[in-house]
Structures are given as structure tokens and as C-alpha cells.
């Protein structure tokens, strides 16, 4: 069955989660890089914990809880002067440089986002980055009251876009998301954001290296991506090959 729709993850796929680092360093000094990486790792961990506990909370307070944890673990007091600017920054994450051109090249398809982000967060991100009009729908897992990789989240796509799962190419850089989408039955393209990052030479690694070791590579769970590309602009040529 032909691909009719492309559905993108947001954070780490369209938006650079590392783009908060300069502000974190400005507010937290030499702890900024550590806070940046801990916050993202904890943010994802808290979605999985809440999913397992069947205690859904909006992604905004989940993000704040992860930030508080990261600051406390790094030895930084989570004051309003630090937390409020950082939380606002999560609403204006920077797009990856090739994102807009990639979306423009895919105009013949239904395009959508499926994200753990709350409706408020996703709306603010899309408006701030100027890409809201590219999408048929911007889908928050809030509609399912769960978090990815719960199959109920991926099931939202079929209803929202009026497509069968076999007609969807799901695009993500996050290994857990790739595994969840593939297990659900989508064709999946993985954006390999860690491509070219060298393996560490020893066990002493910095926060950013540790983040890429934890989140930058394909998960070894079984369900694997059908396609691996390094940039969003690789998707249009990939679809040309698929269609042939």
C-alpha cells in the first residue's frame, strides 16, 4: 500500500532538544550542560513511569518535575529565576536547520506531528517556529491520556488523518519511539542524529556524550526502523525510492 502520510515526532526529530543548553549554561554556569542532559533523560523516564503507573499527567508538569530533578541532582537550587526562563525555552526550541526545507519538499503528502507534548506546548512550538501551516494535524498524546510508546498514542494517527497504518511513514530520532511505531504497524524512518559521533575512548564521558550513548542509537529491542537517514531532507528522496 502506498504511503499517504508522514507523521513526525517533535522533540529530537523536528526540534533540537539541545538548543536549551546555552540558556541553561547562562543560568546555571558550568552545571548547565549537565542540567540540559539530565532534564531530557528524566523527562522521558517520567513519561514511562507515569505510563506504567497509569497515572497520566500533562507533559508540562512532567517537564517541570524533570527540570527540578535535574537541578537538584546537579546541586542547583530550582528557583523561579532559573526555572521560569528554562520552562519558557522549552516552548521555543529551535528547529533543526533542514526541517523547513524538508517539510516543504513533502507537500504532496498529509503531514502531521505526534508528540508527547501537551496541546499548549505543541501549539506554542509550531507557532514560534513558523511551521504550523505545514501540517494537517498536530496530535498530542493528551487525546489518549497516555505517553508513547503506548499503542493507544499511535492509534490516534489513523483517526486524525483518515489513513490506514500501512499508509503511514512515521519519522523519529528517538529509539523508543521507533520501536513503538514499528510494533504498532507503521513503516518507520529513523533519523540518525548521532551519525558521526565517535565512540568514547574510555568510561570517563561528559554529560553530552552520555546523553548520546543513552539516546542516540537504535534500540536493541527487536522492532527496528525500515529506513535510516541522517537528515530530514533525506526523506523526499527516500519516498521516491519507496514509490518506485
Domains of the chain: 5-16+93-243 (3.40.50.1000), 17-89 (1.10.150.240)
Cell of 3: 504511503
What is the pLDDT at residue 243? 83
The pTM (predicted TM-score) of the whole model is: 0.95
pLDDT digits (tens, 9 = 90+) for 23-71: 999 999 999 999 999 999 999 999 999 999 999 999 999 999 999 999 9
Reported as type and span, the H/E element at residue 244 is: none
What is the pLDDT at residue 119? 97
8 A C-beta contact, residue 83 and residue 68: yes
Rounded to whole angstroms, the Cα distance separating 95 from 127 reads: 12
The pLDDT of 86-110, averaged and rounded, is 96
pLDDT band at 219 (very low <50, low <70, confident <90, very high): very high
Rounded to whole angstroms, the Cα distance separating 43 from 51 reads: 13
8 A C-beta contact, residue 76 and residue 35: yes
Cell of 133: 501551516
Cell of 145: 491520556
Q: Is 9 a catalytic residue?
A: yes
Among 12-16, 52-56, 61-65, 220-224, which is the least confidently predicted range?
Answer: 220-224
Is it the case that residue 92 has pLDDT exceeding 80? yes
pLDDT digits (tens, 9 = 90+) for 161-186: 999 999 999 999 999 999 999 999 99
Residues 6+ apart with CB under 8 A from 29: none
Q: What does DSSP assign to residue 109?
A: S
pLDDT band at 197 (very low <50, low <70, confident <90, very high): confident
Amino acid at each position: 500500500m502506498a504511503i499517504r502520510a508522514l507523521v513526525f515526532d517533535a522533540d529530537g526529530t523536528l526540534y533540537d532538544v539541545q538548543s536549551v543548553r546555552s540558556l541553561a549554561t547562562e543560568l546555571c554556569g558550568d552545571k548547565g550542560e549537565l542540567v540540559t542532559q539530565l532534564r531530557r533523560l528524566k523527562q522521558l523516564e517520567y513519561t514511562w513511569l507515569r505510563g506504567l503507573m497509569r497515572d497520566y499527567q500533562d507533559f508540562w508538569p512532567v517537564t517541570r518535575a524533570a527540570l527540578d530533578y535535574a537541578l537538584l541532582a546537579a546541586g542547583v537550587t530550582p528557583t523561579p529565576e532559573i526555572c521560569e526562563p528554562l520552562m519558557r525555552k522549552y516552548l521555543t526550541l529551535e528547529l533543526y536547520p533542514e526541517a523547513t526545507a524538508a517539510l516543504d519538499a513533502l507537500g504532496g503528502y498529509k503531514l502531521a506531528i505526534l508528540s508527547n507534548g501537551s496541546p499548549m506546548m505543541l501549539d506554542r512550538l509550531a507557532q514560534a517556529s513558523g511551521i504550523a501551516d505545514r501540517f494537517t494535524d498536530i496530535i498530542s498524546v493528551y487525546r489518549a491520556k497516555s505517553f508513547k510508546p503506548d499503542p493507544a498514542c499511535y492509534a490516534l494517527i489513523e483517526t486524525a488523518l483518515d489513513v490506514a497504518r500501512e499508509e503511514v511513514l512515521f519519522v523519529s530520532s528517538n529509539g523508543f519511539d521507533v520501536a513503538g511505531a514499528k510494533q504498532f504497524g507503521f513503516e518507520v524512518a529513523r533519523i540518525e542524529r548521532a551519525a558521526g559521533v565517535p565512540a568514547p575512548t574510555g568510561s570517563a564521558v561528559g554529560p553530552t556524550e552520555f546523553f548520546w550513548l543513552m539516546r542516540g542509537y537504535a534500540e536493541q529491542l527487536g522492532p527496528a526502523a525500515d529506513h535510516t537517514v541522517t537528515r530530514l531532507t533525506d526523506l523526499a528522496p527516500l519516498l521516491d525510492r519507496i514509490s518506485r
